[in-house]
Amino acid sequence: GALVYQYPRRTICKSGTSMRMECQAVGFQATSVAWYRQSPQKTFELIALSTVNSAIKYEQNFTQEKFPISHPNLSFSSMTVLNAYLEDRGLYLCGARDEVYEQYFGPGTRLTVL
Amino acid sequence: QQQVRQSPQSLTVWEGETAILNCSYENSAFDYFPWYQQFPGEGPALLIAIRSVSDKKEDGGFTIFFNKREKNLSLHIKDSQPGDSATYFCAASNSGTYQRFGTGTKLQVVP
């Protein structure tokens, strides 16, 4: 079956430091990956869409300078939160799509910023 | 720009009652509507989903009613149990877009 793993599941970083999180698709080819953020008590905001061999498209209020994404192959994507501050805390969700546009979600990486 | 909205923001029902959660969307091109259940501290889990070619989908005690003309849908949780207490998210997408999540409804089922 199709699964999406995310690492780490939970992480804590000091304010002003950076944190890298990973997303791995197993059992299917992730032709594109979407990264979402759920801030405390809120819904899931789309951060960016990443397609292999194409430019990454960032949503309004999110930038490559703050959330650089790497998507080197059809099973792996990573995103870094640079200079993390309190407002960056939350659950970061990876959603990967296969060739027939079925979307699979990972369990998320929960980021705490001290 | 919130493309998918949910109401109510929070809902309390008694055990055994049917909980009704509402969702509306703006983009008429959306054709796939999943519902997710999220418990505190966890990621969202797919509960049930419907495609726009159908107007009803049932799975266990969960039923989606879909109205394409009005661009809204609802999730009915029959015989609600305290274990159903969670936040429920409606999402929407089509073959060319990623899922957009709704604002969420926090459900509490009181024994």
Tell me how far apart the alpha carbons of residues B69 and A11 are, in angstroms, rounded to a whole number: 44
pLDDT at A54: 81
Which of these, B56, B65, B2, B73, lies nearest to A44 by C-alpha position?
Answer: B2
Give A104's Cβ-side CA count (13 Å radius). Answer: 22
Interface probe for B, chosen from A7, A105, A110, A111 (most Cβ of B below 10 Å), is A105
Chain B residue numbers touching A93 (CB-CB < 8 A): 43-44
**Residue ranges in chain B assigned as alpha helix (H):** none
Domain hosting residue B81, numbered range:
4-110
Q: Please state the φ and ψ torsions of residue B62, each to the nearest 5 degrees.
A: -105, 135
Q: Please state the φ and ψ torsions of residue B96, each to the nearest 5 degrees.
A: -100, 0
pLDDT at A72: 86
Tell me how far apart the alpha carbons of residues A30 and B19 are, in angstroms, rounded to a whole number: 36
pLDDT at A52: 79
Q: Across the interface, which of A34, A46, A105 has its CB nearest the CB of B44?
A: A105
Total domain count, chain A: 1
> Residue A113: is its pLDDT beyond 80?
yes
Q: How many residues does chain A have?
A: 114
Cβ atoms A9, A110 nearer than 8 A: yes
Cβ atoms A69, A78 nearer than 8 A: yes
Tell me the pLDDT tens digit for each residue of B51-77.
Answer: 999 999 999 999 999 999 999 999 999
Q: How confident is the model at residue A97 (pLDDT cuts 50, 70, 90)?
A: confident
Domain hosting residue A69, numbered range:
3-113
Which residue of chain B has the CA closest to A94? B43
Tell me, what amino acid is at B61?
G
Total domain count, chain B: 1
**How many angstroms from the chain centroid is the CA of residue B87?**
10
Which residue of chain A has the CA closest to B44? A107
Q: How confident is the model at residue A101 (pLDDT cuts 50, 70, 90)?
A: low
Give B7's Cβ-side CA count (13 Å radius). Answer: 3
Task: For residue B70, give the 3-state DSSP assignment.
Answer: coil
Is the dihedral angle over the CA atoms A51, A56, A57, A58 positive or is it negative? positive
Q: Do A103 and B98 touch (CB under 8 A)?
A: yes
Q: Do B42 and A44 touch (CB under 8 A)?
A: no
pLDDT at A98: 80
Tell me how far apart the alpha carbons of residues A72 and A78 are, in angstroms, rounded to a whole number: 9
E-assigned strand segments in A16-88: 19-26, 32-38, 44-51, 57-58, 69-73, 76-81
Here the tokens at position B13 are 């029902």
Here the tokens at position A57 are 């498209």
Could you say which residues of chain B have pLDDT below 70? 1, 96
Task: For residue B82, give the 3-state DSSP assignment.
Answer: helix
Q: How many residues does chain B have?
A: 111
Tell me the pLDDT tens digit for each residue of A61-87.
Answer: 999 999 999 988 889 999 999 999 999
Give the CATH number, domain containing residue A32: 2.60.40.10
